[in-house]
Amino acid sequence: MPKYDLDKIKFGTNEGTFQKAVDLYESGKIKDFCEGIKSYAATVIGTKPYKVFVEDRRFDYGHCTCYLGQNDTLCKHQIAVAMYAVKQGKPLTDQERKYAARPTWNGKLGKLSADALAGKKREITHALRYIKAYDGPSRTWFAYQDSLDEGCRRLSAIISSLLASEQTADLLVNLLLRLDKKLCNSGIDDSNGTVGGFMESVVLILQEYAKADVNCISTFLPLIGIQTCFGWEESLVKIVEKDRRPHSKDKNGR
C-alpha cells in the first residue's frame, strides 16, 4: 500500500488538477496499472496514451510522459495514478470526491455532541501543523507554500462540515486567534496570502452564523480591544457593538 491516503492527495493538490484526475480515474482512463519496486506504473489515456510512474512514499514524486510531466510539473495523470494506487480501482465516495477550496457553511444550524466536538478540535489541531514557520532555504519555499495550502484546504474541509451554533462559532473564533498568533509571532511566511485569505473566509462564515443565530455573537466578545495582525476581527467586533446598542426606536416609541 502507498504511504499516502486519498486525503493527502486531495489536500496536496489544487482543485482543478484534482477534479481532472477524478475524471480520469472515474472514466476508466487508467490502464495496465502495476506495482513496481516502491512505485506504481500505468498508462493513462489522455490526448495520447501517457506512461506514468508514481512513487509509493510520496504521491507528488513521479514522472509522466505528457508535456507537464516532462517539465517536472505534477500533472493530473500522476494524481490519477496515485489515486488508483490508494483506491485500487474501487469507486470514490462522495466525501472523497468533494473538494472544499474555501470554507463554506451549508446553511444548517445544530449542536454537536461532546465527542463530535472533541473530534473536530483534534482534526483542527492536526491541520494546523501544516501551517508552520518557514526556516528553510529558498529552494524549499515552494514546498513550504504547498504546506500552507494543504493546511488551509484541510481546515476548509473541516469547517465546511460544521453546523452553525454558539459552540462551532466559538471553535472558529478560537481557530482565528490561533492562526493570528501563528501569523504574528511564529515566523509564518504568508507572502502568497494563503492563510490571510483563508482567515477572511472564516470571518465571512462567522458573519453568516451571527445572522442565523444571535447566540453566536457572544463568542466574538474576546475580540474586543485586541490587536490582530491585519484587522480581520473588525467586522465581528462591529456586530457585537451593534448587538449591544439599545434599540432607540423601540425605547422612544413614536
Binding site for Zn ion (CB under 5 A): 64, 66, 69, 75, 77
- Shortest reach from residue 71's CB to Zn ion, in Å: 10
User: Cell numbers of 218, please?
Assistant: 457572544
Q: Helical H runs in the chain?
A: 6-11, 15-26, 67-70, 76-87, 94-97, 114-128, 141-160, 166-185, 194-212, 234-244, 248-252
Nearer to Zn ion, 77 or 154 (CB): 77
100 touches 160 (CB < 8 A): yes
Given a contact cutoff of 8 angstroms between Cβ atoms, the answer to whether 2 and 87 are in contact is: no
Least Å distance between CB 191 and Zn ion? 29
What grid cell was written down for 125?
489541531
Could you tell me the CA-to-CA distances from 242 to 131, 225, 235 in Å, in that order? 34, 15, 11
Minimum distance from residue 89 beta carbon to Zn ion (Å): 19
Q: Using the minimum distance from each CB to Zn ion, give the nearer residue, 48 or 251.
A: 48
Rank residues 66 and 127 by Cβ distance to Zn ion and give the closer one. 66
The least CB distance from residue 69 to Zn ion, in Å, is: 4
Of residues 75 and 86, the one with the C-beta less far from Zn ion = 75
**Residue 107 cell numbers, joined:** 446553511
Nearest residue (CB) to Zn ion, 64 versus 157 = 64
| Shortest distance, position 203 Cβ to Zn ion, whole Å | 38
